[in-house]
A and B are shown apart, each in its own frame.
Chain A
C-alpha cells in the first residue's frame, strides 16, 4: 500500500525554525517527484515546494522562497522541508504528496508567540 506520512509539526515562535519529514513506503520513492502543499485553517490548498526524483531540481512558491528548503534522502525514502524565519502566516497543515497521486494526512505547524 502506498503511504506518505508527514511529521515534525508543532508550535514555534515567529522567526523560529522547524524541519518537517515525510516517510514514504509502498512505492519506489526514488522514481517519483515529491511536493509539499499546505492548508491554512479554513483556507484552500497552497503549493509550497516540489523536488524532482534525484533532487537536482527544486521549486518554491514565492511566499516561502529563501526561507524554506526542500530535500530528499532516497536511501531512506524520506522527504524533508526545512522551514526557517517562520511567520504567523505559515501556520497551516502541511501535506506531502507523491507525484500528486498520493497524499499524507499532514502535520500541523503553528507559528505563534
Chain B
C-alpha cells in the first residue's frame, strides 16, 4: 500500500493534454521534491521530471511537473501514441525514512 496515491488510469486523444495527480502528505511531498518516471511497456523506468519541475536532457518540453502543498502533478501536452506508458511519482518520506513511489498511472492514447 503506497503512501502516494495516483489515479490508476488516464487517457486522451492525440494532441490533447493529460494531467496525472500524485497525492501525499506532509512527511513526503509536503517536505521533499518529487520525481516522475515513465515506464514504457517491457522496459526499465526512465526519469522524466526531477525536483518537481526539472526536465533531464532529452525529455521533450511537452512534459511538465508541478507541486503544491502535499500534491504534485505531471502534465503531458500534445499527446502522442509513444506516450502510452505507466507513469510514477516518487519522493522521500521522512516518517518512513525511505523513498516512496506512487501507485502508478497507465496512460492510454485513444
Residue positions of A touching B, CB distance < 8 A: 35, 37, 44-47, 50, 59-62, 95, 97, 100-106
B88 near A62 with CB under 8 A, answer no
A59 near B101 with CB under 8 A, answer no
B96 near A103 with CB under 8 A, answer no
Chain B residue total in the interface (Cβ 8 A): 23
- Give 6 nearest A-B pairs by CB, closest first: A44-B104, A47-B99, A103-B44, A45-B101, A101-B47, A105-B44
Q: Once the chains are docked, how many angstroms separate the CA of A11 from the CA of B56?
A: 36
- Chief secondary structure at chain B's binding surface: strand
Tell me which residues across on chain B come within 8 A of A102, comparing CB atoms. 47
A35 near B99 with CB under 8 A, answer yes
A107 CB to closest chain B CB (Å) equals: 11
Q: Once the chains are docked, how many angstroms separate the CA of A37 from the CA of B90?
A: 12
Tell me which residues across on chain A come within 8 A of B62, comparing CB atoms. none
A-B contact pairs, 12 of them (CB 8 A): A37-B45, A44-B2, A44-B86, A44-B102, A47-B90, A47-B100, A59-B97, A60-B98, A95-B44, A97-B45, A103-B44, A105-B43
Tell me which residues across on chain A come within 8 A of B99, comparing CB atoms. 35, 47, 50, 59
